[in-house]
């Protein structure tokens, strides 16, 4: 029996709409439809598949305002972020639209014949998306998967299905054939789990919490099913005394409070060199107090509400007696929380170790380069991070030493669709985006052709 989910606007707590959640039988029917569509999609001429992906990108761009409005209402994302996210889907589609015509194999020298390799699609790919970035994370899965000749079943998170559903409709409008890109709203334990257990789903792309990721990996092992995992983070923002402290402090709030801290790449641990602590904190306090937490529909908003009451309660539990200062937030309906800065006294503090996934950042000092690296690496996560220093050799040494998949020097940016994105340690398995993502959506087939008489 299917059920219905009521979507709530997290900025107002008002109901937006209702969405039907698929049950296992409905999920199976769509997986089977995607498996049938694979037989024709994989054989579409490369230039035609490329054209269809570009058409999809064009339709997404034409609907960027509408998609952004949906995301503001459904997820409380700021207008600036929501527009960037819609554009990111179009950009990623355009980027991978170049792939079908360039999915090269190799010719390998061997005796007595010719050896060639082919990159062949896997079949149906299941993409499971979390609620924090519904559009981009969906696109990072479906765009390269489709480009490589796979068909896709995509499950948005329960809280945030609206933009994914719309993207499914826009794909059809762009001419992507029926059954090639399928959006199935539903529960993780039902639809998501079926992607893991259904033998016709040949790969699962999962982005979400580390605990669920582990269970998905274990489930996929039963069928040796391919899996990519993008999981949690507890990234460090390492600021050396020789850096532009004012700039590092001015940029630090955005690095952790963007999307209300519900960002796997949030720099939620600030490591500041001891001699620069006072200077950094005075600039940082000004920046936090000026960080604009307001109605996300406003063009000036820098942060909106948390996604849900559940998330609000989970984040609130980390706010202890080490609060240094806070920023501002609206009162009244909505899951609003002021940006909060903690000064934990021990690296054993839960606020220092756990991924809080809210607008809470912890600041701690370090003595020297070695201490900074040791503290940054003292976590099971390894997704992202920043290094601020004017000494480029030191910045590069530290970047090489930090166990993390995505680092920035004198910048807090994490995601560029041209470059690989993914985690070390328990932050994930495999890489998305960039030129190599196609490898995880294809099998390499080797064919030997004898030339013997
Ligand atoms: P979550 O793990 O609860 O859910 C993620 C998705 O998995 C949802 O669609 C959910 O319905 C589904 N799911 C839940 N249980 C499942 C099951 N048993 N089988 C199959 N699917 C199941 O995570 P969340 O709360 O939606 O998202 C927050 C987490 O995602 C954070 O830990 C964050 O760090 C992580 N995240 C990671 C990245 C990254 O790229 N590394 C990006 C964004 C979010």
Q: Give every residue of the chain whose pLDDT is below 50, as ranges.
A: none
Distances (CA, A) of 363 to 394, 404, 412: 21, 19, 16
For the stretch 374-397, pLDDT in tens is 999 999 999 999 999 999 999 999
Q: Does residue 180 share a domain with residue 82?
A: yes
Cα 426 to Cα 5, 380, 405: the distances in Å are 31, 6, 11
126 lines ligand 1 (CB under 6 A): no
Q: Is the domain of 276 the same as that of 154?
A: no
User: Both 84 and 197 in a single domain?
Assistant: yes
Q: Is 420 inside a domain boundary?
A: no
Q: Choose the residue to mutate in 134, 153, 187, 188 for probing ligand 1, maximizing ligand atoms within 8 Å of C-beta.
A: 188
- Using alpha carbons, list the distances in angstroms from residue 67 to 90, 130, 162, 178, 452: 11, 17, 9, 21, 59
Ligand 1: which residue has its CA nearest to atom 26? 130
Which range of residues forms the domain containing residue 179? 3-231+427-450
- My answer on whether 214 and 270 are in the same domain is no
Q: What is the CATH number of the domain that holds 351?
A: 3.40.309.10
Q: Which of 81, 184, 208, 416 to mutate to test the pocket of ligand 1 (most atoms within 8 A of CB)?
A: 208
Q: Is residue 282 part of a domain?
A: yes
Please pick, among 264, 265, 273, 432, the residue that the annotation labels catalytic: 264
Q: What is the pLDDT of residues 62-114, one digit of tens each?
A: 999 999 999 999 999 999 999 999 999 999 999 999 999 999 999 999 999 99
Kindly state whether residue 240 falls inside one of the protein's structural domains.
yes
Task: Please provide the size of the chain in residues.
Answer: 453
**Tokens representing residue 103 in the block:** 């999915």
> 46 and 138, same structural domain?
yes
Do 149 and 182 have their domain in common? yes
- The CATH code of the domain that includes 155 is 3.40.605.10
Same domain, 96 and 33: yes
Q: In this structure, is residue 355 part of a structural domain? A: yes
Give me the pLDDT at residue 162, please. 98
* Structural domain total, the chain: 2
For residue 254, what pLDDT is reported? 98
Which residue's CA lies nearest to atom 14 of ligand 1? 188
Expressed in angstroms and rounded, the spacing between residue 276 Cα and the centre of ligand 1 is 37
Q: Is there a single domain that holds both residue 291 and residue 196?
A: no
| Whether residue 127 sits in one domain with residue 266 | no
Report pLDDT for 1: 55
Per-residue pLDDT tens for 1-33?
A: 569 999 999 999 999 999 999 999 999 999 999
Ligand 1: distance of its center to the CA of 125 in Å?
17
220 is known as an active-site residue: no
Q: Is the residue at 32 inside a domain?
A: yes
Residues in CB range of 428: below 8 A, 6 or more apart: 213, 228, 229, 230, 231, 383, 405, 422
Residues 243 and 208 in one domain: no
Ligand 1 pocket check for 131: Cβ under 6 Å: yes
| Catalytic site includes residue 264 | yes
Shared-domain flag, residues 220 and 241 = no
Say if ligand 1 is within 6 A of residue 357 CB. Answer: yes
Find the 93 Cα to ligand 1 centroid distance in Å.
23
Report the predicted TM-score, pTM, of the whole model to 2 decimal places: 0.98
């Amino acid at each position: 029996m299917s059920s219905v989910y009521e979507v709530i606007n997290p900025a107002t707590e008002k109901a937006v709409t209702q969405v039907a959640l698929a049950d296992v039988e409905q999920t199976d029917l769509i997986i089977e439809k995607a498996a049938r569509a694979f037989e024709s999609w994989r054989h579409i001429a490369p230039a035609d598949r490329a054209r269809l992906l570009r058409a999809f990108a064009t339709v997404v761009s034409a609907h960027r305002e509408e998609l952004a409005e949906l995301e503001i209402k459904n997820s409380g994302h700021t207008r600036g972020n929501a527009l960037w996210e819609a554009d990111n889907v179009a950009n990623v589609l355009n980027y991978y639209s170049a792939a079908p015509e360039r999915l090269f194999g190799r010719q390998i020298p061997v005796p007595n014949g010719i050896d060639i390799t082919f990159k062949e699609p896997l079949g149906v790919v299941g993409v499971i998306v979390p609620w924090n970035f519904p559009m981009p994370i969906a696109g990072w899965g479906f765009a390269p998967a489709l480009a490589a000749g796979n068909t896709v079943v995509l499950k948005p998170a329960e809280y945030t299905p609206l933009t994914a559903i719309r993207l499914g409709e826009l794909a059809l409008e762009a001419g992507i054939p029926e059954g090639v890109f399928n959006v199935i709203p539903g529960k993780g334990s039902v639809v998501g789990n079926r992607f893991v257990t259904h033998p016709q789903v040949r790969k699962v792309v999962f982005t979400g919490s580390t605990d669920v990721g582990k269970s998905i990996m274990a489930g996929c092992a039963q069928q040796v099913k391919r899996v990519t995992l993008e999981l949690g983070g507890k990234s460090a923002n390492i600021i050396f005394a020789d850096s532009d402290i004012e700039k590092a402090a001015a940029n630090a709030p955005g690095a952790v409070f963007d999307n209300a801290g519900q960002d796997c790449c949030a720099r939620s641990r600030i490591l500041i060199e001891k001699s620069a602590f006072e200077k950094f904190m005075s600039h940082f306090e000004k920046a936090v107090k000026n960080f604009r937490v307001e109605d996300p529909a406003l063009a000036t908003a820098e942060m909106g509400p948390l996604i849900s009451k559940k998330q609000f309660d989970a984040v609130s539990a980390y706010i202890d007696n080490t609060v240094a200062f806070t920023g501002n937030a609206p009162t009244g309906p909505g899951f609003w929380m002021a940006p909060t800065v903690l000064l934990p006294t021990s690296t054993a503090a839960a606020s220092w170790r756990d991924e809080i996934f809210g607008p809470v950042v912890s600041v701690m000092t370090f003595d020297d380069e070695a201490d900074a690296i040791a503290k940054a690496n003292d976590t099971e996560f390894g997704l992202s991070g920043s290094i601020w220093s004017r000494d480029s050799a030191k910045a590069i040494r530290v970047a090489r030493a930090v166990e993390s998949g995505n680092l920035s020097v004198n910048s807090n940016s994490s995601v560029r669709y041209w470059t690989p994105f993914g985690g070390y340690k328990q932050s994930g398995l495999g890489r998305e985006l960039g030129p190599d993502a196609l490898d995880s959506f294809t099998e390499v087939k080797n064919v030997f052709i004898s030339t013997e008489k």
